[in-house]
């Protein structure tokens, strides 16, 4: 299908935690393949696999030591091919994570680069001389804490690492590095993958002058938990040179049929949606991009409206990918629980909203169960920043605990000991139990995604927002003469709206319409199908 990615539903699989088939407590490719039917039945169009490449696993696979092979922890290239074949047989596209802004320090390229200043790979990473006092060349910090510069005695220089010291940044100002990465991506395209999720896509280039970042504008007089948040990262990332490289990547994917790229934008809220728009506008950059703007604590109609409007105002021909959860942030049901009548009600409201937003949408494994954040103890931690910033920041392990398939002790995930604990609150939200209940969160996800799939207005229509007061979010979606009015109550308190114009309830909403008054219960939502020539007018009753 041409432009299959527009309006698609992309389901993220975190391979370590989806299904373990060999009993070692860590998920694997055969396990994922066995469970693909679940993803297809949910109503997803594509699967995004977090990294499965060869890696020492210092950052759970986001530190790649071989871009063209599968880590034995997950299986083999043959296992990957089998997964790809099964997904395609089920009508699912497969997108793989490409972590190319940095590699592992065990990658042969870096092993060679760090050995001397005059070897063939000497300029493949970002190297800098120390200052006269021996200190790093500037003030750039690492996302994971401390300086972004690590001393290498063999070269008597520092190298840049935006994340762990074992994740050195590649130098994309070097054309040979670009060519090598494009060749690695071509390897997977030739194998049949349908596209890429580009990790930290705005980190590829740095300021070659290594100018120091200025301080951020902050209202809090206290230092941030992570000092990274105290700078405007205008020189260490999101550089203008990135555009030309994205154009090279787009030319690569466009040389194959029906392939797509979605990029992760990591920047502050004032800049991220603008960067999303810049990276996707036109037809020669990314197909889609997403930011962390909907992955945080804010849960207001104003916030969601501003993110969508800001994007399309900046790039009317661009395309966003919205999501509420992923492997890097606390699960949204836990983040937003205080805004709803119950955790399950928040889960149902969230998928109704997400399925109604203009763009492509991303789902993270387990959210279709209303899965909550796991409370991780210090002695259960595996995530590096969790150790660094405990207890104010507990790392990302809480959202990465294994998928729960049934009510057994290991949740049907493994016959061994899970690599992260499965605790009772998460065990209670298992697939088998929800399959047997017509009113489960899983049933709501399936019904909502089926409704979206059948609605051209929701998948590809334009958006016109309604001027309604908090806590109600409302907008019209329209495409090819089909029109829907989408209304959401972002609070636990009932709301009443007056509907002027011919309309009737559509889809699996949670509301009632009588005599021109729409009653939205706490955490309720409604889709209205206009039956007249114009969209209904909506005001507070």
Which stretches within 65-115 are classed as H helix?
77-89, 108-113
Q: What is the pLDDT of residue 268?
A: 86
How many structural domains is the chain composed of?
A: 2
Q: How many whole angstroms separate alpha carbon 423 and alpha carbon 373?
A: 10
Residue 484 to residue 506: CA distance in whole angstroms: 9
Residue 138 lies in a domain: no
Active-site residue flag, 194: no
Q: Is 424 within 8 Å of 374 (Cβ atoms)?
A: no
Catalytic pick from 264, 293, 358, 373? 264
Q: What DSSP designation does 141 have?
A: B
Is there a cis peptide before residue 391, judged by omega within 30 degrees of 0? yes
Establish whether the linkage from the previous residue to 471 is cis, with ω within 30° of 0.
Answer: yes
Two tokens at 486?
Answer: 């989408």
Q: What is the Cα–Cα distance from 86 to 116, expressed in whole angstroms?
A: 46
Q: Are residues 444 and 515 in the same domain?
A: no
Residue-wise DSSP of 232-285 = --TTTSS-TTHHHHHHHHHHHHHTSTT-EEEEE--S-HHHHHHHHHHHHSSSSS
User: What stretches in the chain show pLDDT beneath 70?
Assistant: 1
- pTM value? 0.97
Are 247 and 269 part of one and the same domain?
yes
pLDDT of 531: 76
In terms of Cα–Cα distance, which of 532, 538, 535 is closest to 518? 538
DSSP string, 215-234: BP--S-SSPPSSGGGGB--T
* Side-chain half-sphere exposure of 420, counting CA atoms within 13 A: 29
Give me the pLDDT at residue 138, please.
Answer: 98
466 and 336 within one domain? no
Domain CATH number, residue 492: 2.60.40.1180
- Which of these three, 433, 452, 471, is where a domain ends? 452
Is the residue at 92 inside a domain?
A: yes
Q: Is 377 in the same domain as 467?
A: no
Q: In angstroms, what CA-CA distances link 158 with 74, 397, 539?
A: 34, 31, 60
Q: Do 274 and 416 sit in the same domain of this protein?
A: yes
CATH of the domain at 272: 3.20.20.80
Task: Say if residue 98 is in the same domain as residue 245.
Answer: yes
Beta partners for 510? 525
For residue 35, tell me if it sits in a domain: yes
Pick from 143, 181, 183, 186: nearest CA to 165: 143
pLDDT of residue 451: 98
Which of 430, 452, 474 is the last residue in one of the domains? 452
**Chosen domain end from 423, 452, 481:** 452
Catalytic residue among 21, 105, 199, 278: 199
Domain that holds residue 536: 461-540
Evaluate whether 354 touches 323 at the Cβ level (below 8 Å): yes
DSSP collapsed to 3 states, 184-202: HHHHHHHHCCCEEEECCHH
Query: Is 232 labeled as catalytic in the residue annotation?
Result: no
Q: Are both 339 and 291 inside the same structural domain?
A: yes
Residue 313's pLDDT is 95
């Amino acid at each position: 299908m041409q432009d299959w990615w527009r309006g698609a539903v992309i389901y993220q699989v975190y391979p370590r935690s989806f299904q373990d088939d060999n009993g070692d407590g860590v998920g694997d490719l055969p396990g994922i393949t066995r469970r693909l039917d679940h993803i297809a039945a949910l109503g997803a169009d594509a699967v995004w696999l977090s990294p499965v490449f060869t890696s020492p696993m210092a950052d759970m696979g986001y530190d790649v030591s071989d871009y063209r092979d599968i880590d034995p922890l997950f299986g083999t290239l043959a296992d990957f091919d089998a997964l790809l074949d099964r997904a395609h047989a089920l009508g699912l596209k497969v997108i793989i994570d490409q972590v190319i802004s940095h590699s592992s320090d065990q990658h042969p390229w870096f092993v060679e680069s760090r050995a001397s200043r005059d070897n063939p790979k000497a300029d493949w990473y970002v190297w800098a001389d120390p200052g006269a006092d021996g200190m790093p060349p500037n003030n750039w910090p690492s996302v994971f804490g401390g300086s972004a510069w690590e001393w290498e005695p063999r070269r008597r220089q520092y190298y840049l690492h935006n994340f762990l010291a074992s994740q050195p940044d590649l130098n994309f100002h070097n054309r040979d590095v670009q060519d090598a990465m494009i060749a690695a991506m071509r390897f997977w395209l030739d194998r049949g993958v349908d596209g890429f999720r580009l990790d930290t896509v705005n980190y590829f280039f740095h300021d070659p002058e290594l100018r120091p970042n200025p301080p951020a504008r902050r209202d809090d007089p206290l230092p941030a938990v992570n000092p990274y948040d105290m700078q405007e990262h205008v020189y260490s990332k999101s550089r203008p040179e990135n555009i030309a490289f994205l154009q090279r990547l787009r030319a690569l994917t466009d040389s194959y049929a029906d392939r797509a790229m979605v990029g992760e934008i990591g920047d502050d809220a004032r800049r991220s949606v603008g960067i999303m728009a810049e990276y996707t506008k036109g037809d020669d950059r990314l197909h889609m991009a997403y930011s962390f703007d909907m992955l945080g604590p804010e849960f207001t109609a104003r916030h969601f409206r501003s993110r969508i409007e800001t994007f399309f105002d900046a790039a009317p021909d661009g395309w966003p990918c919205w999501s509420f959860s992923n492997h890097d942030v606390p699960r949204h049901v836990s983040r937003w629980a205080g805004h709803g009548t119950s955790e399950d009600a928040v889960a149902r409201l969230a998928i109704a909203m997400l399925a109604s937003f203009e763009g492509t949408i991303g789902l993270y494994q387990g959210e279709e169960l209303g899965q909550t954040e796991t409370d991780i103890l210090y002695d259960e931690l595996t995530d590096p920043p969790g150790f660094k910033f405990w207890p104010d920041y507990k790392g990302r392990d809480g959202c990465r605990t294994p998928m729960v398939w049934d009510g057994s002790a290991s949740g049907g995930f493994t016959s061994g000991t899970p690599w992260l604990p499965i605790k009772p609150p998460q065990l209670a939200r298992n697939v088998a139990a929800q399959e047997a209940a017509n009113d489960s969160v899983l049933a709501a996800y399936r019904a909502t995604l089926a409704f979206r799939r059948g609605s051209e207005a929701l998948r590809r229509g334009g958006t016109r927002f309604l001027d309604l007061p908090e806590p109600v979010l409302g907008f019209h979606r329209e495409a090819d003469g089909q029109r829907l009015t989408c209304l959401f109550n972002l609070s636990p308190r009932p709301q009443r709206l007056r509907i002027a114009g011919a309309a009737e309830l559509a889809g699996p909403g949670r509301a009632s319409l009588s005599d021109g008054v729409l009653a939205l219960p706490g955490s309720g939502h409604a889709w209205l199908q206009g039956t007249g020539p114009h969209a209904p007018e909506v005001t507070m009753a």
